[in-house]
Amino acid sequence: MQHDDPSSAPACPGPPAVQPAPRLKIPSGAVDTHSHVIGGPPAHPFVAGRSYTPPPATAAQYLAMLDATGMTYGVLTQVSVHGTDNSLLVDALRSNRARLRGIAVIAPEAPDAERRALADAGVVGLRLNVLYGGGIGFDRLADYGALCAEMGWHLQFLIDAAELPALAPALARLPVPFLIDHMGHFPTTRGVADPGFKALCALVRDVAWVRLSGAYRTTVQGPPYDDTVAFAHALVEANPERCVWGSDWPHVANWGTMMTVADLLDLLGRWVPDEATRTRVLVDNPHRLFGFEAPRR
């Protein structure tokens, strides 16, 4: 539910203050491909029409989480509650150029100077979000594809997989790489035979990237998220070369059990039990998509 009155968007909790190390062995060069930094009024106001009100989440807190969990690099995605004001994201990127990349949210007619400034800061892609309010929708998909082709960027989509059968032809025609977030972001009760999930697997097999993430957003059973494992297995089987992982820190709009990032990394061990494949998911694949320094073996 979206809220036009800023005061009516419900507050959501922040992440755990202490982040333990995971049991899972984390390879050198591992990338957390999806997290957010969040400010607040007056310096960084929230948009009307959002569906939640988050607490602040700073770049320093994010880097501390990466250090605690053994992750080398991170990708910050513009959070929906800040709309197209990417200033906080840009500040975080500029202060951590070697370690962070960014995914921005802009209008397709954004001036060239704005685009260039984002690229110079470390932005490597754009996100379209139709689920949480404050994002940009899909009605100008072709314009975004052309913009990203010009900039050398890719596109990311936060979308319910139920929309994919209808959108798949247009997505397949995009002139740039694209990624579907949170394994299609739909409840596990639909099952792996769901037409939307089957469309997602087909896209991943042929052309799309997918983020293995968001277990707490799709589960109906709750921790330890047993009902998500079959979905991750199916996506990795479809194409292990185009799967990446993200923590989704600081886990906005989560009013259920608040997990640690270590919990989610340990779940990745069940999602991708083969160590060599898991290294591809955590290191090789995201290095290709997000432009980090090639890992040394």
**Whole-number pLDDT of residue 1:** 36
**Domains in the chain: ranges and CATH:** 36-290 (3.20.20.140)
Residue 238, SS3 per DSSP: helix
Return the biggest CA–CA distance within the chain.
Answer: 52
Residues 17, 249 contacting (CB under 8 angstroms): no
Query: Token pair of 146, please?
Result: 């052309």
**Whole-number pLDDT of residue 132:** 55
DSSP string for 127-143: EEE-SSSSS--STTHHH
Confirm whether pTM is higher than 0.75.
yes
Catalytic annotation on 248? yes
How many Å apart are CA 239 and CA 175, to the nearest integer? 20
Rg for the chain, CA atoms, rounded: 18
Beta-carbon contacts of residue 112 (< 8 Å; ≥ 6 apart): none
* Dihedral of alpha carbons 211, 213, 214, 215, sign: positive
Query: Token pair of 113, please?
Result: 């100077």
**Whole-number pLDDT of residue 293:** 79
> What are the residues facing 38 on neighbouring strands?
57
Region class of 152: left (phi > 0), else alpha (psi between -120 and 50), else beta: left
Query: Token pair of 256, please?
Result: 């259920």
Residues 162, 180 contacting (CB under 8 angstroms): no
Question: What single letter denotes the amino acid at residue 158?
Answer: L
> ω into residue 55 within 30 of 0, thus cis?
no
Per-residue pLDDT tens digits of the chain, which is 297 residues long: 333 344 568 999 999 999 999 999 999 999 999 999 999 999 999 998 888 999 999 999 999 999 999 999 999 999 999 999 999 999 999 999 999 999 999 999 999 999 999 999 999 999 998 665 445 667 889 999 999 999 999 999 999 999 999 999 999 999 999 999 999 999 999 999 999 999 999 999 999 999 999 999 999 999 999 999 999 999 999 999 999 999 999 999 999 999 999 999 999 999 999 999 999 999 999 999 999 976 565
From 181, 194, 248, 263, active-site residue: 248
How many Å apart are CA 19 and CA 31, to the nearest integer? 17
